């Protein structure tokens, strides 16, 4: 090979990462939840990093995956919201538009073989009706809307729980509890998670993200205890 070196480096593997984000669409809005840990491999690098952001009055965003790539996305979004502010046209940017925008950004990046290594969950309300909106975009540009969304380990652990808990008439107040429960279960089983979490609720009244708070946990379950065996109690 002649001069054999790559002229440009691309992200091919995430380094500093956040784990699952989960979201549930409700009758009167949407709830997002995520813990506040960013990991460097198996190292808990930062235990109090917010993985949720409020994009606008009626839109929130959560990420899992590479933290630096998310920071890049975050600043482009902030730029977008400032130009939106300067328009001063009284036409708020809808969550769907923000979702589509991010989908285009992510897809273009993957087309350049230089992906933004994230899964993004967009939660919002349609300002006109107050109906919830929940969508996902990933590093390949995959994008869809759904009543319940989970990324990472959440796909395996939280998504079934969310599907079970979902009703078309579920309220944000109820949804918040479901999300909290899911985060707790994730904390029990996902080794790259932490018990400090944030929850973001978006309703017609506005988007609000809580300060990081500790989940109440219990480790007294019989099956968590050393020496307990499944077969002792199994009916199988």
Interface ranges with other proteins (CB under 8 A): 1-2, 4, 6, 10-13, 75, 78-79, 82-83, 85-86, 88, 103, 107, 110-111, 113-115, 136, 138, 140-144, 146, 149-150, 155-156, 159
Least Cα distance to 131 among 77, 170, 85 occurs for: 170
CB of 85 to other proteins, least distance (A): 6
Query: For residues 85 and 219, which CB has a smaller minimum distance to other proteins in the complex?
Result: 85
- Is 171 catalytic? The answer is no
CB of 50 to other proteins, least distance (A): 16
CB of 155 to other proteins, least distance (A): 5
Question: Of these residues, 11, 49, 54, 155, which one is catalytic?
Answer: 11
d(CA 2, CA 203): 59
The three-state secondary structure class of 163 is helix
Query: For residues 37 and 159, which CB has a smaller minimum distance to other proteins in the complex?
Result: 159
Q: Name 107's Cβ contacts closer than 8 Å, sequence gap at least 6.
A: 140, 141
CB of 9 to other proteins, least distance (A): 10
Instruction: Concatenate the DSSP letters of all residues of 5-39 into one string.
Output: S-SS----S-SEEE--EEEEEETTEEEEEEE--EE
C-alpha torsion angle, residues 94, 98, 100, 106 (rounded to 10)? 180
Whether the Cβ atoms of residue 135 and residue 99 lie closer than 8 Å to each other: yes
Query: For residues 159 and 172, which CB has a smaller minimum distance to other proteins in the complex?
Result: 159
CB of 216 to other proteins, least distance (A): 29
Query: For residues 106 and 194, which CB has a smaller minimum distance to other proteins in the complex?
Result: 106
Query: For residues 120 and 194, which CB has a smaller minimum distance to other proteins in the complex?
Result: 120
Q: Name 73's Cβ contacts closer than 8 Å, sequence gap at least 6.
A: 63, 102, 105, 116, 118, 120
User: How far are the Cα atoms of 65, 73, 158 from residue 34, in angstroms, in the given order?
Assistant: 12, 18, 12
Q: Would you name the residues annotated as active-site residues?
A: 11
């Amino acid at each position: 090979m002649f001069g054999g070196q790559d002229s440009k480096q691309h992200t091919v593997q995430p380094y500093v990462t956040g784990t699952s984000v989960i979201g549930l669409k409700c009758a009167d809005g949407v709830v997002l939840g995520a813990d506040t840990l960013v990991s460097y491999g198996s190292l808990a690098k930062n235990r109090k990093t917010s993985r949720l952001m409020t994009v606008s009055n009626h839109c929130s965003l959560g990420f899992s995956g590479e933290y630096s790539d998310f920071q890049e996305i975050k600043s482009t979004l902030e730029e977008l919201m400032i130009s939106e502010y300067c328009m001063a046209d009284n036409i708020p940017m809808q969550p769907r538009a923000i979702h589509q925008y991010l989908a285009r950004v992510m897809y273009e990046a993957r087309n350049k073989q230089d992906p933004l290594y994230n899964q993004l969950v967009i939660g919002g309300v349609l300002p006109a009706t107050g109906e919830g909106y929940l969508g996902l975009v990933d590093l390949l540009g995959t994008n869809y809307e759904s009543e319940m969304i989970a990324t990472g380990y959440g796909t395996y652990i939280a998504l079934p729980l969310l599907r079970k808990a979902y009703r078309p008439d579920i309220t944000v107040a109820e949804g918040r509890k479901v999300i909290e429960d899911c985060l707790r279960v994730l904390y029990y089983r996902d080794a790259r998670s932490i018990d400090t979490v944030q929850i973001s609720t978006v309703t017609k009244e506005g988007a609000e993200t809580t300060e990081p708070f500790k989940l109440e946990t219990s480790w007294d379950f019989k099956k968590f205890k050393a020496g307990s065996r499944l077969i002792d109690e199994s009916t199988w």
